[in-house]
Structure 1
Amino acid sequence: MVLDLLVIGLIITLFPLPIMAFVLVVSAPRGTRKGLAFILAWLACLVTVIAIVLLLTGGQPPPPRSPPSVAALAATLVIGVGLIFYSEHRRRRRRRTVASPDSAANARSADSARSGESLNSRMDDATGWSAAALAVLLQPWGMVGAAAATVVQADLSHGASFVALMAFCLLATSTLLAMELYAVFSPEKAQHALRNMRAWLERHKEPAIVVTCLVLGLWLVGRSLYQLTG
């Protein structure tokens, strides 16, 4: 369970879409306050999902080969397969975009630029509640679902399970926390660095989405099949 949660947490913290949104949040007026609201809502989602699973299991892992145990592994397998298919879908879409004529690509670039400007404007006027809602909407729920299926194996009678759950929440939030702290303690440098990060992510977000989803999907499929057939 520990290794699975660490892998899932690492992929979540590297997933580009929430990072791009958080950069916009922190770069807006009163960005550090909005960023804190984003992080608190993000953490609240993770903690709520974990708490619901532990409430259902009573903090005790189901016996191996029992229906709840098999159901959790089956859910992990389905999520893993879904992530692999989603990765392939994004890869094919990017491939079609690259192969499209220059005029269509330029039109899409212009649309993307206008969309980015519009989002920037909305974030300037956004409140802390808006930032929190954005965190909930952009939570990679498929990956969080995989974490929930893994938490079924948690045994709260052992302190290691508490440590693993806390480590997962912190790891899944670590990129956001690092950017928030950077913005608090070095606001001028942070603004420049975050703008550069956003520009880089806009150019590379599609390959990053493809790779992160594929890696986690293969991991989940491999682990679930091993445990189902072992």
Structure 2
Amino acid sequence: MVLDLTVFGLAITLEPVPVITFILLLSAERGLYKGLAFILAWLSSLVLVLALVVLATGGTPPARSSTSSTAVLGIKLALGVGLIAYGAHRRRRLGRPRTRPAWTARLNRVSVWTASGLAVLVQPWGLVAAGCATAVDADMSRAATYLALTGFCLLSTASLLVMQLYATFAPEAAQDRLTRLSGWIESHEDQAIVAISLLAGLWLVSKSISQLVG
């Protein structure tokens, strides 16, 4: 479970759309406050979904080869296929000219509350769902499980936390470097989404099939 959560946590934190959105918010008026609101909403939504999963399982993983266990593996397999299909769909767009979505031009004027709402909207929910499906196997009677779930949440937020801290303690340098980073990510956005979706999807499909036939 720990390895799976690490894979999905890395995939979430490297997703380009949330990173670009966060950089644009940081560069806006009162950007640090908006960035903090974004991070808090991002973390809160992750924790809430994980908590719902743990409550649904009672903190005990389903028995191996049980109906519940098979159903969870079926869900993981479907999520993996969905990620692969999405990656293949985005791959067909490679090389096409891209323009920044119109809504990003209004990020300079959004409120702190809107910034927090954006965190929920741009969160890569397919990858979050994959992580939460993995958390079904969490045994909450073990302290290591709490550390694994906490690590997943922090890893999923790591890129945002690093940028927020950088902008807080070195605002001038951060402004220049994050702007350049945003431009680079935008020019490689489709490639990144394709790679992340395909790799995460293949990982989920292979693990699910191996457990179904094992």
- The answer for the alignment partner of 2:34 in structure 1 is 34
Partner residue in 1 for 2:89: 89
Which residue of 1 is the match for residue 61 of structure 2? 61
Structure 1 residues 11-66: Cα deviation after superposition (integer angstroms, max 9, x where no partner): 10011110010010111011010000000000011001100001111101110011
Alpha-carbon shift at residue 72 of structure 1 (Å): 1.1
Matches within 5 A, 1:3-42: 3-42=3-42
Aligned residue pairs total: 214
- Write out per-residue CA displacement over residues 194-214 of structure 1, whole angstroms, 9 at most, x where no aligned residue: 100111011100100000001
Question: Could you tell me which residue of structure 1 aligns to residue 147 of structure 2?
Answer: 163
User: 2:185, 2:29 → 1: CA distance?
Assistant: 22
Q: What is the one-letter code of the residue matched to 2:134?
A: T
Q: Show structure 1 runs of 4+ deviating over 2 A.
A: none
Say whether residues 1:129 and 2:113 are aligned partners.
yes
* Cα displacement string for residues 78-103 of structure 1 (whole angstroms, at most 9, x for unaligned residues): 010111111111111225x2xxxxxx
State which of 125, 134, 138 in structure 2 corresponds to 1:150.
Answer: 134
Match of 2:168?
A: 184
Q: What does residue 79 of structure 2 align with?
A: 79
Cα deviation, residue 147, structure 1: 1.0
- Root mean square deviation, CA, Å: 1.2
Q: Is the 8 A contact 2:93 2:190 kept in 1?
A: no
The TM-score with structure 2 as length reference comes to 0.97
The residue type paired with residue 4 of structure 1 is D
Q: Which protein has the bigger helix share?
A: 1
Do structure 1's residue 140 and structure 2's residue 138 form an aligned pair? no
Deviation per residue, 1:123-171 (Å, 9 max, x gap):
2211111101100000111111111111110001111100100000000
- Take 1:68 and 1:130, find their aligned partners in 2: how far apart are those partners? 38
Letter in structure 1 aligned against 2:94? R
Following the alignment from structure 2 to structure 1, what is the Cα–Cα distance between the partners of residues 150 and 5?
10
Mapping of residues 35-50 of structure 1, within 5 Å? 35-50=35-50
SS at match of 2:60: coil
What letter matches 1:145 in structure 2? A
Output the CA distance in 2 between the equivalents of 1:212 and 1:32: 28
CA shift, 1:119, in A, is 2.3
Q: Distance in 2 between matches of 1:177 and 1:135?
A: 13
Q: Which residue pairs with 1:228 in the alignment?
A: 212
Q: 2:28, 2:189 → 1: CA distance?
A: 21
Give the aligned residue type for 2:2.
Answer: V
- Would you say 1:119 and 2:107 are equivalent positions? no
- Give the residue type in structure 1 aligned to 2:104: L
Q: List runs of 5+ in structure 1 lacking aligned partners.
A: 98-104
**Residue 198 of structure 1 aligns with which residue?**
182
Distance 1:172 1:65 in 2: 30
> Separation in 2 of the partners of 1:194 and 1:93?
26
